Structure formats: structure tokens, C-alpha cells
Structure 1
Amino acid sequence: MGAALLALTSVPTQAAPADGATVERGRYLAKAGDCVACHTAEKGGDKGGDKGAAMAGGRSLETPFGKLYSTNITPDRETGIGKYSFEQFDRAMRKGVAADGHNLYPAMPYPSYARMTAEDMQALYAYLMQGLAPVKQANKPSEMHWPFNMRWGLSLWNWAFLDTTPFKPDPKKDPLWNRGAYLVQGLGHCGACHTPRGVAFQEKAMGDAGPKGRHFLAGETVEHWRALSLRGLWTVEDTALFLKTGQNRYAAASGNMAEVILHSTQHLKEEDLVAIATYLKALPPGENELPVPAVPRKVVAGALPENLYSSRGGLGYVQFCVDCHRQDGSGVPKVFPPLAGNPAVLARDPATLLHIVLTGGQTVATAAHPRAFAMPGFARLKDAELAEIMSFVRASWGNGGAAVSADHVKKMRAALDPKVDTSTFETPRLADMLASPKAQQLVRGMRLHLETRDLLPQHVGNALNCTSCHLNAGTVADGSPFVGVSAFFPGYAPRAGRVITLEDRINGCFKRSMNGKPLPPDSPDMKAMVAYFDWMKRETRPEDKVPGRGVGKIDRNIQPNTENGRKVYADQCAVCHGKDGEGLRQADGRYVYPPLWGDASFNIGAGMARTYTAAAFVKRNMPIGFHGRFPLGQGGLSDQEAVDVAEYFSHQPRPDFPEKVKDWPKDKKPADARY
């Protein structure tokens, strides 16, 4: 409902009790108006702690003129609106005038609420008075700068910009269009964020009619987020799906829009969502965004940008973005949003893209998609690096966006002041390979790790790539990184019972983890893989300790609970690896995420087939998108959960390893070996 139904003393009046149906209708209208989002303090508030009481106010609202705090709109008679008569409530909602006669700031979108019908206003009032429990919580004073802290000027603002005429259906349009227009222009107050503002911070248009109508919902930048043009943005089906689930084939909700979907639109009736989408689709394209294609974009799996592996921006994208958004920019349906055709990427003003990249984001948890996925912030990367990656994304897959400059990133960083990951592990930058005289060989070696199955089909017998275990092509701390590894070869391997070379170790992975065949040690591809390892060695010496090397350890005294592992798998792993461990495939049948058991998975000779090795990997690296840890949001399960789920999936049926009889000829075999 916005920011300001102030609870002030008025003549006590007692509204006649409304019937239950009216109260329930008002409850629905309050969801349509998203009252709870503004009138509930954010989790943590100013002093930390849990989210505030619903509708009791206290949420801070930043404006260009200072800070406002939302007010208590519960029916408490001392601090809430319990003494408001309907007439006083109606005046506040339509004219922005509180019970004692002072003006409300238009951060409370009363210019939009003025369009509500009398019947809906009565129902909303009934719900707030009878459907909410009163909460005694005093309102916080605003912190507006002079002269904006002087409210008398708001009377002039209202005189100039406020139209209190309720919504009038357009007789030339059908009922579905009119219902959508009513919800968008009125209760939904979509224009409060998505309509450009004038010099007096007024919305340039409150509806689509008249000469000013071209401005309505044409896009605006709010609190460093780009509220996109909503005019004809998607198909009716795509828009309705987005409002219901927070996702569609083009995007996932972010920023303030995620809250709108969480608190409001996911709860709307299907017919109302279709009405909203129908109305928006009928609006011609906005003035501030790129034209919407007449035919919806189709992302073609496997259509890779030509400079994906030959530009700094492309290699930066490969390193930090591909695991979630894929080489073709298609994302992972119902998990990670696509970047090809994504409106936040297409927008002329890349504010939302910059905001998310610097601070991170999270998909909204809805009834349709209860599992939220997080994207960590990448503020650890330098301004120039981020500019290269974002420019690549905006120019690829037909997006056609302009480049982002390092200076643009710098300014947004200063405005947002994002937290920066301070871990000691310094991730090597794949983009730096281009400066090497051996750049072509190094890139080939990296690609052999990233796309092992596609590039070496004769040597890979399952659905895995090296990067399935060595995350981001071997650049993630505790994700079996390749950093410094080649310095430790040749070296003694207990499983082999002898000194082995790096080539031996690589071929061991081909035979075990990928259930395939070894590469000839002198082949160009083996040399490329070794060259990539050597480039990752840097200045590492055999006696050095490399931070983040391997996958860490986990307490072997923890006893696995397979039944709990089954539950953890279903809750946290199945979305990417399949209900029955079969993996996740894209439309053309290629694997997105690998199977964890079955014929297309690793065999019993792989290290990941051992409970405690798998548990250590899971503890630090799975699931991805779980929180804000750089660079994949990886890890987050407890030690017990990691052991439980590792025991569960590692002991599922998988291929045999005939050469197992040769393992550990001199040293003691680990207790958790599968044979």
C-alpha cells in the first residue's frame, strides 16, 4: 500500500461489522495491493532481528529527498488506524490526507489507489479493521531533508498532479482487458515503479489514455534497479507465468519485483493474472527499452557466441557464469534464468544487471517454485573484469545491448557499497590465458576440462565432464581446483602403489570418474590438458601448501543415516541431478548436470563413490545457488547432512570397475571403498 497511513488521533468512530465474505474479499485486495510489503519492517530492521509484525510498519523507504518509514496500519487504536472512520480511510487512500488533516508523502501510492471502486475500498477497510490483529507499535518519524520535511508543499503537489477520478471501464474494450487495466492502474500501482517520473517526482502518466499515455509503464530506474518497461513485454502466457511463479522462459524476478511476486501476485486468481497480462500485452512497446521482437526469441541449445573462448569477456563468462547460465545463455529451466533474451540484460539502462552482479540476488520462493536459488555477488572482481563480462553478455545471443564501461561499474559499486569476499584463495582468471604465447593450447586444455564429453567422446563413457568435480574448470577453492596441482607430480599414489605422473592421474579420472578410456600420453589433447595444469601451477613448489586445494576433510566418525540422506537428496539435489539420480538434460538431450548413479554415472572405482570423499565434496560445493558464497553460492549443508546424502547417492547402483583388483597393492584400503 505504500508508505504512509499515519495513525493519529481522530474522533472515535466504530464501523459496522462487515460480513465474512467482505472481509475475505478485502484480504484478497490487500494482497493485490501488496500492502504487507511496505507496511512490514524488513528482516533485521535497523538493529537486527526477525522481520517485523505484519502491517505494523517500520520499513525504511529511501527516496531522493530523504528516508520515510512505513506506518502501522493494523487496527490498534493508539498506534495503528483503529480510530479511522471509513471516510477518513477513504480520504487517505484517494487523496493522501491523514485523519488529522496532514498530507501524506506520495511514496504512498494514493494517486493509484484513487482509482479503486467504492466497493473495493469498503472491503479493504473491512479487512484492515476486522481481519487483522491489532499491533501496538509506534510509528517512526520521517527523515526527510529540508524543505521536503515541510508537508504543506504536498497540497500544491496534489493540486498539480492528483486525479481522484475512479477507474472507468473502456466500453471499446472487453471485460478481461478492463479488469487488467483496473488492477494495473489501481491496486497493483505498477506505475509507481515502472512509469518514468517528472521533475516533481510525479508519475508522468497514471494510465495509458491521452497524449501522456505513452509514458505509462515505459520503465524507470528505482533505487539502482531498472524497473523495466511493461508495455507488450511478453506473451500473455509468459507474463501470467512470471507473476505466478517468479520465473518464465526469459527471466527470473529480482530486486523489488521479487517481493511483489512473493507477497502479492503469486496469490492472485488465475483469471486476474491473465487479465493483467492481457492488458500489458495490448500496450505498444515502451519508449525507454529495446523493441520487443514480434516473434518471441527462441534460444537454440548449442548456439555459442563466436568469441566465447577468444575474448576476455567470453572467458570471464565461461569461468564465472556458465555453470548456471550455460554456454548458450539458456540458463536452466525452473532453476537459473536465461541470459539470452533476458530483459534485464536487454535494457538500455543496465542498472539491474549491474546491481545483481555486484550484490547478488535470489529467485523468489513461490508455491510453484518453493526452492529459492541464490546468485552470489561478484564484487570481488575488478571493475574492468565485470565490465568485460557484462559487455559480452549484453552483446551475445542476439541481445544487442551496448557495452558496459569500467567507469559505469565503478559508479554503481560506489552507490551500492557491496560486500566483498575476502577468502585467501585467489581464483585464477581464465581470461589471462589470452596473454600467453600458448593461448590456443591453453584454451583447448581448459575446454577439454569443461566439455570433456563433447570433445573426447571416444574417451568418456558416461555423462560427466572434468568440471563436474573440478568446478568452474578447476578454479574454485575446495572444489578440487587445479591451482598448483602439477607441482606435486610425479608423486606417490597409494591407490596405485607407485609414483605416478600427471598424465597417469588424468587418465585415472578418464577410467574411473568418466568410466572411459585413457588418452595417449603424447597426444595433442593430453598435452593441452597438462599445459592448462602447468599454467595453473603459477609459482607453486612441491613443498608448498595451496589454500583451497582438494575438497577438504570431513569427520569420519560421523555415522551416515541413509534415510535422512534420501530426504536431503530429494530436498536439495534432485532439482539438478534428477529424482532418480538420472541427471538433468536440456532440450536437445545433452546433459546440463550429471547423473549421480546409474549407467551414465561414475563407476565404483571413482573417488566420489566413497562416502567420506563424496561427503567432503558435498559439504563445500553442493548444492550450488544455495547462498551468497563466491563464486557459485556453493555448499551449506551440515556435516551430518553431507555424510548422509553422500552415503545415499554413492551407494546407488553404478558401473563396475574391472581394474579394481589392482588398487591399493601396498597400502591399506580405505574403509569406505566400494570394493
Structure 2
Amino acid sequence: MRKLKQMALSLALACGGVHAADETLVRQGEYLAVAADCTACHTAEHGQPFAGGKAIASPVGEIIATNITPSKKGGIGGYSEAQFSAALRQGIRADGARLYPAMPYTAYATLTDADVHALYVYFMSGVKPVDSMPAETHLPFPLNLRFSMMFWNALFLNAPGYTPDATHSAGWNRGRYLVDGAAHCSTCHTPRGFLMQEKQDEAFTGAQVGPWFAPNITANRVSGIGEWSQQDLIAYLKTGRLAGKAQAAGSMAEAITHSFQHLSEADLAAIAEYMGSIGDSHAPASGASRFNQGNASSNVGALRGVPFTTPVSDEGARLFSGNCASCHGSSGEGTRDVFYPSLFHNSATAENNPSNLIATILTGVQRHTAEGDVYMPPFGAQPNALNHLDDGQIATLSNWILQRYGNAETAVTPEQVAEIRRGGPASPLVWLAQAGVGAGALAAIVLLIWLTIRRQRRRNSI
């Protein structure tokens, strides 16, 4: 995908589509768009770059990504730079409508005026226009009233721009600028409050994002990534894996594929430096790391010679043998080249939150890096498919894996699997907002009736 974009940009430059004086700005803007991972949301599967149409799961409903190509019919071709900046950093469209914070404008508010200008030049001059118009987002009432975001922004949106911290190095400041801004790491890794705002006092301590759990990435050595060296983090961001510790899947795999692996060594080092300074005062400072749990274990040998239709006492072992052992090994040790990771010393099996284990089994893994493609098939396929496992089977398999290779204190229920299959936990905000509106309407009706009766009584008393 990135090579195709570069070829298209080079063609545009060669054909005079961009003035020579703007070439540097276009390339700077392209780099920033990669750092911001615009592709992950605004390019649908098998769709044209930045043409939108991708459905993004959120706790309050699906949000459809818009077309951000320079098409004047379907995209943002009619935006002035000021309107582009307002959309990017304030969540306000050219028509005045408010964007939902699934578009991480709360993070992009950090971007400097110079970087916003470079992005504008890139999207207007270096991106191919596509005239298609994606479907509209339809959230349930009253969240479909976009003007309500005006009040949300007043509470939670910071002023645009970035102020360097003179007490830290240039590398640390660059890392903070990227992490808090373009890379918008906090958008996924910070838990959210009742109004879906980020809890700033718990920044980067982990949060549920649809079916996946974005883990703690603070420097805490127990619950975070404090035991990783800066080179470990750089290697993970470039490849999506760190042998014996973690593998990227879901939205993080997309971020590796489309964004992090393409950043410069200097920027990756800056990110690693900054992340190494972020503490977590809410987590224990000592104990077993989530990357060092579990050991090699196997009892699938007890199944040899037993017909598949014969009931066995250990259904988890049979499910593991039939679906997992051929790649991850009969003892969960993975392969020597770590292409297939071990299931012990693996963050997906050691978290207190089992969402990532469940989601991995359900949806599989797909990641594209310079090292090559990584693929694990999904086992949550449609019923009657060859690789379909139902909610009960996935719960049984998950518990068997957790007991032998990971956090044995964590248990998975079929109900949890069903929730992850549906796209993750829903927020109570929708029905609470509806209840609030209903209560307000009821109070208004009661007040109107009371005023009417009171007025009638006054007339009768005259």
C-alpha cells in the first residue's frame, strides 16, 4: 500500500501536479499522515486509499469513516486550510457539523500549525481524488445530535498546539509530540470515563477498544512494559512482535502495518525514550510481569488413538490438539523461528483481561511488515464453516490455554465470548442519555400540566 502511494505521488510530481516548491511539504505531509495512521480508518478493506467507508466499532455504535481524498464531490476537496485545520484539531467539519471523537482530533489538537499545513498540502496535492460518498454514521438518539459534541469539546478538548518541555531532551519532546499527537496512542491505551473522555490520571494504563484490550504501556515493570528496553520497543513497533513477550493483533497490527514500521529510526527512538518515562501509580511496583507467566505443558498425548467422536474428559485438550497444536506446538512452545509464538510468556495469555486471547481465536491475526506477512486463521467463522468454533468451545479452549500457559486465575465464559464476537462491551451511555432525555421530557410535560391546571384554577377563582 505504501509503495503504491509513493508511486502515485512520484507520478503526480513528474506530471507537474505539484509545484516543485511544494514537493518537500507534500512528502512531509505524507510522512505525518503515515504517523497518524490515517489509512487504518479511512481506507476500507479492498477500497481506494482514503476513500472512507470503513465501519469503526465503538461502544456507542458503528461510526463510518469519511472520504478524505481531495474530491470536491465526495471528499474534502472543497475545504480551505482553515477548515481542514478545524476538522483535524477541533472536530468541526466544513459545514459546521461536529465530528465524533472516534476521529482522534483530541490528539491531533497537539499538531503544530506547520504540520497541519504540510498535511493539508499532501491531502490536496498528493492524494488521488475519489468521488464516492460513504454511508452516513447513524448513532442512536440522542447521540445522533452532533451539536452535543460542542459541550463535550468544551469539557475535554485542549487548545491547539504543542509546547516543548525544556526540562527534557529534544528526543523526549519529539517522542511526546508523536505519542500524544499524530500517533494518538492514548486514544486506545487510556481508559475512558462515563462520558467517553480519556481519564488523564490513568493515561496509558490500558483500555477496552471494541473486542480488543489495548494493554498497559506505561513503564511499570509488572503491568506495563517497564522491563522492555528501548530497543525492545523499537523492534516491536517495526515488526509487531517481541519474541517471548508480545505479538501485535487487531488494531495494533494495523498500526504496525500502516504506520509505525514506516517511521524513521530517530522517531522510533524518540517514542521509546518518551514511553520509558511514563509511570503508573495505580499498579503494583513489584510482582510477576505479565510477560513471564506460564510454562511448556502438554497432555494431548492422552488423546492419541481416541476416535474424534468418543467423549473425553478433557475437551479443552482435544480442541487445542485439533486447532492449535499444529502451529503452536503440542506443548505451546511455538516454532523455533518464533513465526508462530509460544503461548506461554505471551501477553495475550497473561493479562487479567482475556479479551485479546478470545479475539485472537475469533478473528485471527493478520500483519504485514518488512519481515513478511503474519497470518493466523479466524476460528469464529460462520456456522458450518470448517474452522468454526462456537462460543462454548472457544470458552473451553481459552480456559484450557489459560490454565496451562498463562494467567490461571482468569476464567472465560461463553457469555464473554459472545460479547467479544458482537464487537466488545457496549457503553451504558446510550440508554442513560435516552433515559435522561426521557426524564427531561416527562418533567417538561408534568410542568406544563401543572401550569395549565394552575392557570385554570386562577381563572375559576376570578
Shorter-chain TM-score range: 0.7 to 0.9
Cα shift readout 1:588-640 (whole Å, capped 9, x = no counterpart): xxxxxxxxxxxxxxxxxxxxxxxxxxxxxxxxxxxxxxxxxxxxxxxxxxxxx
Cα shift readout 1:119-163 (whole Å, capped 9, x = no counterpart): 211111111111112221224322121111111211101101111
Alignment equivalent of 1:366, drawn from 361, 365, 369: 369
Alignment equivalent of 1:189, drawn from 181, 184, 187: 184
Alignment equivalent of 2:211, drawn from 219, 224, 229: 224
Report if aligned partners of 2:299, 2:317 keep a CA contact under 8 Å in 1.
no
Cα distance between partner residues in 2 of 1:295 and 1:415: 25
Cα distance between partner residues in 2 of 1:348 and 1:381: 23
- Structure 1 residue ranges without an equivalent (≥5): 1-14, 43-50, 206-211, 417-675
- The structure whose RCO (Cα within 8 Å, separation 6+) is larger is 2
Map 1:609-624 to 2 at 5 A.
none
Alignment equivalent of 2:328, drawn from 325, 330, 334: 325
Partner of 1:135: 130
Deviates more, 1:307-316 or 1:375-384: 307-316
Cα distance between partner residues in 2 of 1:295 and 1:254: 17
Displacement of 1:292: 7.9
Alignment equivalent of 1:386, drawn from 378, 382, 394: 394
- Residue 308 of structure 2 is aligned to residue 304 of structure 1: no
| 1:365 counterpart SS class | strand
Map 1:150-549 to 2 at 5 A.
150-205=145-200, 212=201, 215-232=202-219, 233=225, 234-249=228-243, 250-285=245-280, 287=282, 293=288, 297=292, 303-304=296-297, 313-314=316-317, 316-332=319-335, 333-357=337-361, 359-369=362-372, 371-377=373-379, 380-381=388-389, 383-397=391-405, 399-413=407-421
Cα shift readout 1:515-559 (whole Å, capped 9, x = no counterpart): xxxxxxxxxxxxxxxxxxxxxxxxxxxxxxxxxxxxxxxxxxxxx
Cα shift readout 1:271-299 (whole Å, capped 9, x = no counterpart): 21222222223323585899785797498
Closer/same/farther in 2, CA of residues 57 and 336 from structure 1, 3 Å limit: same
Partner of 1:38: 41
Cα distance between partner residues in 1 of 2:116 and 2:73: 23
Cα distance between partner residues in 2 of 1:161 and 1:41: 29
| 2:208 counterpart SS class | strand
Cα distance between partner residues in 2 of 1:406 and 1:286: 34
Partner of 1:99: 94
Partner of 2:121: 126
Displacement of 1:65: 3.0
Report if aligned partners of 2:352, 2:407 keep a CA contact under 8 Å in 1.
no
Q: Which amino acid aligns with 2:203?
A: F
Cα distance between partner residues in 2 of 1:406 and 1:73: 40
Closer/same/farther in 2, CA of residues 406 and 56 from structure 1, 3 Å limit: closer
Displacement of 1:257: 1.3
Cα shift readout 1:307-341 (whole Å, capped 9, x = no counterpart): 99696545643443222222443322341122212
Report if aligned partners of 2:290, 2:350 keep a CA contact under 8 Å in 1.
no
| 1:77 counterpart SS class | coil
| 2:340 counterpart SS class | coil
Q: Which amino acid aligns with 2:404?
A: S
Q: Which amino acid aligns with 2:26?
A: V
Cα distance between partner residues in 2 of 1:290 and 1:363: 34
Report if aligned partners of 1:289, 1:347 keep a CA contact under 8 Å in 2.
no
Cα distance between partner residues in 2 of 1:230 and 1:315: 35
Displacement of 1:389: 3.0
Q: Which amino acid aligns with 1:373?
A: Y
Closer/same/farther in 2, CA of residues 29 and 153 from structure 1, 3 Å limit: same
Closer/same/farther in 2, CA of residues 219 and 269 from structure 1, 3 Å limit: same
Percent of matched pairs sharing the same residue: 38
Cα distance between partner residues in 2 of 1:56 and 1:295: 39
Larger Rg: 1
Cα distance between partner residues in 2 of 1:76 and 1:304: 57
Relative to its length, the structure with more helix (as a share) is 2
Q: Which amino acid aligns with 1:351?
A: S
Cα distance between partner residues in 1 of 2:289 and 2:359: 29
Cα shift readout 1:214-260 (whole Å, capped 9, x = no counterpart): x1111111221111122132332222112111222122221111111
Report if aligned partners of 2:69, 2:124 keep a CA contact under 8 Å in 1.
yes
Cα distance between partner residues in 2 of 1:190 and 1:227: 10
Q: Which amino acid aligns with 2:130?
A: V
Report if aligned partners of 2:290, 2:351 keep a CA contact under 8 Å in 1.
no
